Amino acid sequence: MSARIRTQEQIAARVKALESMLIEQGIMTTQAIDRMVEIYEHEVGPQLGAKVVAKAWSDPRFKARLVEDASEACKELGISGLQGEDMVVVQNTDTVHNIIVCTLCSCYPWPVLGLPPNWYKDPQYRAAITREPRKVLHDSFDFTVPEDVEVRVWDSSSEMRYWVLPQRPGGTEGWTEERLAELVTRDSMIGVGPVAAVAS
């Protein structure tokens, strides 16, 4: 079992214990917790970022506006809010792969990516990804960037929150934005993973 899977299981166990404690002490109800989960699964989070990416893949003019001013372009799709005031999109290309991190704390573009995953806030990730990004991608995320592709690491802050516009995969010509959005993963917008594979 990989360290990442063990960590996910530990987090799940802690969440379940905390949920049980909140319910037992009358602080929250099961219905309130279910509603919070529904909000983060369907109303905020990576699916909103996926919608933005799919729009950029489909509409060159929107893509240009997104790269010029990500916060304003996202507002066109009704996406804005706390931690999204000063967002910057960096594009992956055939020759450049981008990764985001916040070396000081956990600054993160909430409106498009939801809440940051625990590993994003981990001091080990924050230190290692800046020193040895290829090694971290390979060892922690089972993700390999070709040697002929430059890796750039962008350090988010409270003044500027970066996120990645992944490359549109081949074989998706003529796809709807809804179908394209299904390929976009949270990790691909952080830069630590690929978009989902296109079924042949």
Q: Which residues are catalytic?
A: 102, 105-107
Does 102 carry a binding-site annotation?
yes
Q: What is the 3-state secondary structure (H, E, C) of the chain?
A: CCHHHHHHHHHHHHHHHHHHHHHHCCCCCHHHHHHHHHHHHHCCCHHHHHHHHHHHHHCHHHHHHHHHCHHHHHHHCCCCCCCCCCEEEEECCCCEEEEEECCCCCCCCHHHHCCCCHHHHCHHHHHHHHHCHHHHHHHHHCCCCCCCCEEEEEECCCCCEEEEECCCCCCCCCCCHHHHHCCCCHHHHHCCCCCCCCCC
Does 74 carry a binding-site annotation?
no
Does 106 carry a binding-site annotation?
yes
CB 81 within 8 Å of CB 115: no
Does 107 carry a binding-site annotation?
yes
Please name which of 108, 97, 127, 115 lies closest in space to residue 195, comparing C-alpha atoms: 97
Locate 141 and state its tokens.
Answer: 């995320």
Q: From the annotation, which residues make up the binding site?
A: 102, 105-107
Q: Which residues sit in the known binding site for Fe(3+)?
A: 102, 105-107
